[in-house]
């Protein structure tokens, strides 16, 4: 069954099975890098907030293990009801800045790929990237929920951009501690029991590589801009180094030892972005260079 037919039939069945007065709708949800995902929402009359269930993920799982759509709809409704119980009834958790401020953090996105959305978002430009704010809410089976902080939210909160970024920065530095690992350790941690192709990255015994992220490994690429981190890494490596933006969640650090050129590393990042990284999680095709003598991080230029 094609995705479009699957989506329409599932929506019809869910509408019949949902509580009286509920409306089942499919909406395009703007995500990172100008990408939209189709989200399934079940809106009840007495509810001001509802979980989003992403249809592409449901469809992919259904293609692998098909079940009758009625049975699938029952599963979705069961998940929805459990998730619904985890959400606050009072929207002031977000609309009241005094309540929301403790959960606002910073992350990095690509400047050009998100240019349209950034027109409506408070942001700070840095290199070819932008620093933006997001609200993080712990979730249940569907994982943590994040809300991008838009200009309309800042105005609702009646705060300045400076105040917003100061709060988000303090939260980020306090709650999202740095995690610094060698590449082999990181790959083993992510892969678990799965086999990892050796050709993805150069062998570490030839080219040493390190991963910088946060302990949650969510939006951890921003760690490279924590105070003094760039210098501390240089001191640890005893060298200048390249910064490879492997995704929005982490960066890879490669000492400039002459074993591999910046040109090769930039090509590697572009290739991995094309073949290995979810388009929504790509940070940049460019790489960066930290000059130990100058103490500066710049875009690498061939």
- pLDDT digits 0-9 by tens, 188-240: 665 555 555 555 555 545 689 999 999 999 999 999 999 999 999 999 999 99
Per the prediction, the chain carries an average pLDDT of: 90
Residue 187's pLDDT is what?
63
> Mind listing the pLDDT tens digit for each residue in 265-283?
999 999 999 999 999 999 9
| 194 vs 137: which has the higher pLDDT | 137
pLDDT over 50 (residue 97): yes
In the structure encoding, which two tokens stand for residue 183, read together?
């590449």
Q: Tell me the two tokens of residue 286.
A: 């460019």
User: Can you give the pLDDT at residue 185?
Assistant: 66
- Rounded CA gap, 266 and 264, in Å? 5
- H helix or E strand, kind and range, residue 38: strand 36-43
Kindly give, in sequence order, each residue whose CB lies less than 8 Å from that of residue 124, ignoring residues fewer than 6 positions away.
Answer: 130, 131, 165
CA dihedral over 120, 55, 278, 217, signed as positive or negative: positive
132 neighbors 122 (Cβ within 8 angstroms): yes
Share of the chain above pLDDT 90, in %: 74
Q: Which of 113, 111, 112, 135 is nearest to 123 (CA)?
A: 111
- Compare 124 and 200 and report the one with higher pLDDT: 124
The full set of domain ranges for the chain reads: 3-86, 92-175, 178-299
The first and second tokens of residue 299, run together, are: 């875009």
- What's the pTM? 0.87
For 4-15, the pLDDT digits (tens) are 999 999 999 999
């Amino acid at each position: 069954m094609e995705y479009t037919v699957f989506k329409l039939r599932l929506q019809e069945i869910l509408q019949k099975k949902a509580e009286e007065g509920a409306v089942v709708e499919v909406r395009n949800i703007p995500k990172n890098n100008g990408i939209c995902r189709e989200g399934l929402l079940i809106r009840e009359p007495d509810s001001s907030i509802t979980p989003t269930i992403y249809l592409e993920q449901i469809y992919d799982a259904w293609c692998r293990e098909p079940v009758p759509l009625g049975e699938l709809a029952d599963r979705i409704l069961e998940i929805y009801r459990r998730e619904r119980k985890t959400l606050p009834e009072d929207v002031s958790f977000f609309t009241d800045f005094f309540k929301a401020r403790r959960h606002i953090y910073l992350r990095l996105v690509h400047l050009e790929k998100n240019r349209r959305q950034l027109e409506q978002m408070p942001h700070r430009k840095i290199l070819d990237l932008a620093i933006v704010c997001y609200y993080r809410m712990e979730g249940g089976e569907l994982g943590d929920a994040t809300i991008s902080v838009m200009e309309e939210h800042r105005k609702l909160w009646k705060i300045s951009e400076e105040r917003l970024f100061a709060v988000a920065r303090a939260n980020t530095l306090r709650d999202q501690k740095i995690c610094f690992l060698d590449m082999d350790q990181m790959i083993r941690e992510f892969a678990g029991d799965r086999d990892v192709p050796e050709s993805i990255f150069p062998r570490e015994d030839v080219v040493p590589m390190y991963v910088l992220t946060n302990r949650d490994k969510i939006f951890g690429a921003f760690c490279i801009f924590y105070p003094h981190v760039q210098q501390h890494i240089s001191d640890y490596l005893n060298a200048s180094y390249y910064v490879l933006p492997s995704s929005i969640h982490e960066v890879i650090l490669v000492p400039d030892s002459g074993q591999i050129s910046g040109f090769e590393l930039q090509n590697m990042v572009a290739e991995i972005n094309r073949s290995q990284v979810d388009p929504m999680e790509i940070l940049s095709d460019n790489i960066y260079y930290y000059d130990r003598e100058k103490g500066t991080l710049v875009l690498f230029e061939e």
